[in-house]
């Protein structure tokens, strides 16, 4: 397939780098600035994406649309694109459940588009070997080809949409839920006054957990506001698969309590501040 133009909706921390990666194919990568923040505009500029201003123009001018937005906005974005009667290839690369992926697939297919389901694992694409984009759907190989010359590793994992979202769910079900669990455990130990004793015991028998819990505070707490929707999606996915939803519903609640650390990276949140916030927010409930 000859892909001349790709729309990236919208250039977030991850999305801007995916757009830049797609541009290595020679395709024109466009985006729509209307309604987007200054931060997004600056990221898009740095990534070299072409601003066509409105979503209407982005839809009209593109062969492929890459949806990389907050998971809770993914379905609404697909509905808006479908309202504009998009007939190209619509890729949803967000951390959503298989059920939401199916709804998005139905929404865009009814308008005449071909749906490709995607899931991103790793960090924004700045070095080779750090980021995978898993794709499933009949046109997944065409989408993967966009990234052949880039630092993004695009992998096709099936002809049926859904597999890529399921893989992302399985992966994040462990990484993000265990971050939330470790922070809840550190808070519990502090509430009970056994935090020092727990750290001493961990040093003997679970030597990696103190480092992991400190890292969860520093790295995961600033992003936790975005994980709420993702944890809820995973809980729903587990339930639909006949498994308990409780692990990830609880992780969603822990992430929601970490909202005061939204996007705080300098200085990164210290474990003591995270424990205090989880305690205080717990008492207020
Ligand atoms: N960041 C990572 O390391 C990472 C890793 C793996 C997977 N992912 C996945 O990639 C996706 C996007 O992540 P990201 O890091 O690029 O997010 P992000 O930095 O938070 O950026 C989100 C982008 O979407 C826009 N946006 C915000 N609210 C919106 C809404 N209600 N409707 C439509 N667009 C909206 C934002 O624009 P404004 O600036 O105007 O708000 C911004 O351009 C998510 O599904 C995430 O799970 C990210």
Tell me: do 222 and 277 sit in the same domain. Answer: yes
Tell me: do 38 and 154 sit in the same domain. Answer: yes
Tokens standing for residue 37: 């923040």
Cis-peptide into 267, omega within 30 deg:
yes
Tell me: do 196 and 95 sit in the same domain. Answer: no
Helix (H, G, I), strand (E, B) or coil at 114: strand
Does the structure show a pLDDT above 60 at 272?
yes
Atom of ligand 1 nearest to the CA of 72: 31
Mutation pick for ligand 1 pocket among 8, 10, 17, 65 (CB with most ligand atoms within 8 Å): 10
Backbone angles phi, psi at 262, to 5 degrees: -45, 120
Q: Whose CA is nearest to atom 20 of ligand 1?
A: 12
CA dihedral (51, 16, 223, 237) in degrees, to 10, reads 100
Tell me: do 17 and 157 sit in the same domain. Answer: yes
Tell me: do 55 and 152 sit in the same domain. Answer: yes
Atom of ligand 1 nearest to the CA of 43: 43
End-to-end CA distance of the chain: 54
Tell me: do 188 and 279 sit in the same domain. Answer: yes
- Res. 254 pLDDT band, cuts 50 70 90: very high
Tell me: do 139 and 21 sit in the same domain. Answer: yes
Tell me: do 76 and 134 sit in the same domain. Answer: yes
Close Cβ partners of 255 (under 8 Å, ≥ 6 residues apart): 176, 180, 224, 225, 227, 228, 231
Which of the 8 DSSP states describes residue 37? Answer: -
Distances (CA, A) of 265 to 37, 218, 269: 19, 8, 7
Residues 173 and 231: beta-carbon distance below 8 Å: no
- Domain termination site, one of 104, 132, 161: 161
What is the domain-level CATH number for residue 85?
Answer: 3.40.50.720
- Interval 74-131: pLDDT, tens: 999 999 999 999 999 999 999 888 889 999 999 999 999 999 999 999 999 999 999 9
Tell me: do 215 and 179 sit in the same domain. Answer: yes
- Interval 11-27: pLDDT, tens: 999 999 999 999 999 99
Tell me: do 157 and 178 sit in the same domain. Answer: no
How much is the pLDDT for 282? 58
What is the domain-level CATH number for residue 215?
Answer: 1.10.1040.10
- Domain termination site, one of 105, 133, 161: 161
Mean residue pLDDT across the chain: 95
How much is the pLDDT for 283? 57
Q: How many CB atoms lie within 10 A of CB 278?
A: 22
Cα dihedral sign for 9, 13, 18, 20? positive
Q: Is the CB of 19 under 6 A from ligand 1?
A: no
Domain total of the chain:
2
Tell me: do 119 and 204 sit in the same domain. Answer: no
- Domain termination site, one of 110, 130, 161: 161
Domain that holds residue 125: 5-161
């Amino acid at each position: 397939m000859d892909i001349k133009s790709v729309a990236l909706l919208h250039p977030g921390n991850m999305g801007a780098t995916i757009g830049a990666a797609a541009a290595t194919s020679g395709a024109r990568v466009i985006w729509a600035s209307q309604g987007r923040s200054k931060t997004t505009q600056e990221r898009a500029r740095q990534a070299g994406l072409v601003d066509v201003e409105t979503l209407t123009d982005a839809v009209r001018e593109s062969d492929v649309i890459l949806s990389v937005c907050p998971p809770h906005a993914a379905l609404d974005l697909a509905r808006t694109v479908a309202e504009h009667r998009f007939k190209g290839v619509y890729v949803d690369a967000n951390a959503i459940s298989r059920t939401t992926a199916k709804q998005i697939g139905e929404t865009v297919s009814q308008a005449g588009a071909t749906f490709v389901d995607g899931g991103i694992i790793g960090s924004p694409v700045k070095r080779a070997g750090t980021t995978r984009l898993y794709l499933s759907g009949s046109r997944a190989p065409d989408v993967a080809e966009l990234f052949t010359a880039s630092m993004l590793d695009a992998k096709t994992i099936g002809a049926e949409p859904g597999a890529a979202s399921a893989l992302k769910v399985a992966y994040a079900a462990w990484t993000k839920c265990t971050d939330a669990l470790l922070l809840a455990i550190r808070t519990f130990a502090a509430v009970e006054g056994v935090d020092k004793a727990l750290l001493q015991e961990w040093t003997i028998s679970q030597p990696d957990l103190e480092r992991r819990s400190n890292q969860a505070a520093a790295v995961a707490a600033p992003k936790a506001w975005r994980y709420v929707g993702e944890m809820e999606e995973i809980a729903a996915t587990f339930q639909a698969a006949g498994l308990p939803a409780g692990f990830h519903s609880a992780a969603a609640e822990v992430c929601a309590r970490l909202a005061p650390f939204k996007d705080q990276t300098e200085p990164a949140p210290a474990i003591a501040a995270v424990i205090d916030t989880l305690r205080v927010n717990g008492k207020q409930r």
